Amino acid sequence: MINFTHPSLFLLLGIIFTFIPYFNKKVVLLSFALISFLLSLFLNYEASIDLNFLSFQLQLYRVDFISKTFVIIFTLITLIASIYAINQKSILELRSAYLYVSAAIGAVLSGDLISLFVFWELMAIGSTLVILSNSSNKLSESSGLRYLLIHLLGGVILMVGIIGYASIEKNILFSLLNLDNHFSWLILAGFLINAGAPPFAAWVADAYPEASFSGTVFLSAFTTKTSVYALIRGFAGLEILIYFGLVMIFYGIIYALLENDIRRILAYSIVNQVGFMLVGIGIGTQLSINGAITHAFAHIIYKALLLMSAGSVIYMTQKRRCTDVGGLYRTMPITTICGIIGALAISSFPLTSGFTTKSMIVSGAAYEHLFYVWILLIAASAGVFLHAGIKFPWFVFFQKDSGLRPKEPPKNMLLAMVLLSFLCVLFGIFPNLLYQLLPFDKLYIPYTSDHVIFQLQLLLFAGLAFFVMLPWLKRTLTITLDFDWFYRLGLIKLLDAVKKVIYSYDIFLSKLLSSFKTFLQNKVNVSFNTETGVGKNHWMTGNMVFALSIILLIYLLVLLF
Amino acid sequence: MKNLDWLSEKNTIKKLWIGFIFVLTITLVFQFFFPLDGHFKIEKYFGFAAFYGFFSCFIMIIVAKALGVLLKVKENYYD
């Protein structure tokens, strides 16, 4: 049965219409984004789209409170990010973004593991295209390829997990997975890689800031949050997620504190915020799951807002490092105010959406008497204010006078930022607007006197620590090494060492290793020459071979298992 | 737009600091009127959140600084 209320269908139609010459491409895309948002508000709980595949029944349309909430925020942010991206010269980015969003919505509405996997992979392709479409940045190519490599790896692990799981369970329904089936741990690993969990957290900060000023806004919203959705669906209450979440939270804070690139600070803070959601999922009570869902909702809004204000600065100044900007509040007051509202929201300041959502996760830990989790979450809340709440606006809009006097960005970009700022405050003052979307009826009152005072003390004194220790936070022209060192450089060094040993014994093997090393150097780390086109015809084949070798290796391991 | 320059003047910054310290004090004083009633005993201690907020950030900055010595490399490291 075909159901025409699937929001992805309209986003895909939008892409098709942009190929018709008589239409204004951007107006077409905006209109279809609006239609898909309106549709998402009225998703039909009863309807379904079922297909038969081999002996399995695929469900392409499963609507409940959880999936509906995610689809609403996905379509809403697509609409607002599209308004922001109107003056993006290349239409390729918006087309790619719409493909990406369609896949993300498809994954969220999937009721079975096979269709989830198909949309999962489409999402990886769509998001890679968003990164690659930033042709003005030569780093985006190598970064995009590394991004794709990690997601293909995650996809392969997920695929093996799903095949194994389905063959044992004889069931592909995507609900709470049976952990006695060891293949469900591979599925978990696949989800965690996309969520930016350690050790593969580096891809977020590596790839997202290399997209265009508007592309990053799209990227920030969907991949990690689809993983959050999938983890809620399949692994709610799994204790290990609490520990993954806590590591992500502090990883995000520490790396963001060390970072100089404006958008990379915000990328690290995505990992940090997803960490909070993972903790909520791991605790697994109704309150904490509600918290993870609302926090994902609120986070998509304020992170998009923060990235839009950062994107506006980059768009107007062409500078992307904290050390190159500063004092921009003089000529960009509206962007500054919007950035500050986003920063306050991510820090969970009372009257912003972060306060009414993150509090549910922290309270979830307290209600379960998880003292050590709670005390770490409190420290992390102060840390969020430190690295994103103050550091971001301070170094971008205040600190020194850089001498730059850029104007405010174009009106469409301002409109998008003002809309999102409004939503941050709206959900902060009227949290019930958000709570009514939740799956569990659990009354939660964020505004109690002791909660507000506790939070204000915590955050304001964290602010004091920032200004007292400001000389320690001086930015430097550096990047910070991460796990990606192993596949960007470590592997090449290892191959060099192995080659030296083997060389004396076997020239053939040595040559084989050299060609593999050249592949790594040319196709994975260093971008190919776009002007001459050298390497252009080979990289797809190279990547496919690389991906295939991983597939075979894992397949072998699974068979041996 | 020049009228926004006053924000960077020394006099303003001094006033902002005074205002900030005043607000910090207020949040502590409020605890006398609205005693905190948390799930854990530690929450009820006077100024716990204030102390913990400051102290945890202090530690995080120190840890970041120390890790920075080990992990920070030049921007063109991978080129």
**Which residue of B1, B53, B73 is in closest CB contact with A457?**
B53
Q: Mean pLDDT across chain A, nearest whole number?
A: 89
Do A529 and A413 fall into the same domain?
Answer: no
Do A363 and A504 fall into the same domain?
Answer: no
Do A410 and A390 fall into the same domain?
Answer: yes
- The answer as to whether A83 is a domain residue is no
Q: DSSP string covering chain B, please?
A: -GGGGGGGSHHHHHHHHHHHHHHHHHHHHHHHHS----SSGGGGSTTHHHHHHHHHHHHHHHHHHHHHHHHEEETTTT-
Do A421 and A313 fall into the same domain?
Answer: yes
pLDDT at A549 over 90: no
Answer whether B54 sits within 8 Å of A464, measured CB to CB.
Answer: yes
Do A358 and A507 fall into the same domain?
Answer: no
- The answer as to whether A94 is a domain residue is no
Residues A358-414 pLDDT 10s: 999 999 999 999 999 999 999 999 999 999 999 999 999 998 888 889 999 999 999
The reply to whether B6 touches chain A by the CB within 8 Å rule is no
Do A271 and A416 fall into the same domain?
Answer: yes
A378-411: string of b/e by CB count within 10 Å (b at 16+)? bbbbbbbbbbbbbbbbbbbbbbeebebebebbee
Do A537 and A418 fall into the same domain?
Answer: no
- The answer as to whether A251 is a domain residue is yes
Among B residues 10-49, those touching chain A with beta carbons less than 8 Å apart: 20, 23-24, 27-28, 30-31, 34-40, 42-43, 47, 49
| Number of structural domains chain A divides into | 2
The reply to whether A397 touches chain B by the CB within 8 Å rule is no
What is the pLDDT at residue A527? Answer: 46
Q: What percent of chain A has pLDDT over 90?
A: 65
pLDDT band at A4 (very low <50, low <70, confident <90, very high): low
Q: How many CB atoms lie within 10 A of CB B65?
A: 16
Using the 3D structure, point to which of A428, A448, A475 is the last residue of a domain: A475
Residues A67-83 pLDDT 10s: 999 999 999 999 999 99
pLDDT band at A48 (very low <50, low <70, confident <90, very high): confident
Do A469 and A501 fall into the same domain?
Answer: no
**Radius of gyration in angstroms for the set of CA atoms belonging to chain A, rounded to a whole number:** 23
Nearest CA in chain B to A480: B72
The reply to whether B3 touches chain A by the CB within 8 Å rule is no
Using the 3D structure, point to which of A475, A494, A513 is the last residue of a domain: A475
- The answer as to whether A508 is a domain residue is yes
Chain B CB contacts of A378 under 8 Å are 49, 52, 56
Chain B CB contacts of A250 under 8 Å are 60
- The answer as to whether A403 is a domain residue is yes
Q: Best interface-test mutation with B: which of A330, A331, A453 has the largest number of B CBs within 10 A?
A: A453
Who wins on pLDDT, A339 or A439? A339
A243-282: string of b/e by CB count within 10 Å (b at 16+)? ebbbbbbbbbbbbbbbbbbbbbbbbbbbbbbbbbbbbbbb
Determine contact, residues A314/A262, Cβ cutoff 8 Å.
yes
Chain B CB contacts of A383 under 8 Å are 56-57, 60
- The answer as to whether A265 is a domain residue is yes
**Which residue of A371, A383, A456 is in closest CB contact with B60?**
A383
Do A388 and A531 fall into the same domain?
Answer: no
Q: What is the extent of the structural domain holding A538?
A: 485-560
- The answer as to whether A205 is a domain residue is no
Chain B CB contacts of A476 under 8 Å are 72
pLDDT at B54 over 60: yes
pLDDT band at B32 (very low <50, low <70, confident <90, very high): confident
Using the 3D structure, point to which of A475, A508, A535 is the last residue of a domain: A475
Residues A433-466 pLDDT 10s: 999 888 887 678 899 988 999 999 999 999 999 9
pLDDT band at A547 (very low <50, low <70, confident <90, very high): low
What is the pLDDT at residue B2? Answer: 54
Chain B CB contacts of A450 under 8 Å are 34-38
Look at residues A77, A99, A83, A80 and name the one whose alpha carbon lies nearest to residue A26: A83
Do A469 and A540 fall into the same domain?
Answer: no
Do A491 and A372 fall into the same domain?
Answer: no
What is the pLDDT at residue A219? Answer: 95
pLDDT at B35 over 80: no
Answer whether B34 sits within 8 Å of A449, measured CB to CB.
Answer: yes
The reply to whether B65 touches chain A by the CB within 8 Å rule is yes
Do A365 and A263 fall into the same domain?
Answer: yes
Q: Best interface-test mutation with B: which of A456, A476, A524 has the largest number of B CBs within 10 A?
A: A456
Q: Above 0.85 for ipTM, yes or no?
A: yes
- The answer as to whether A272 is a domain residue is yes
Q: Give the tokens for residue A375.
A: 């005390």
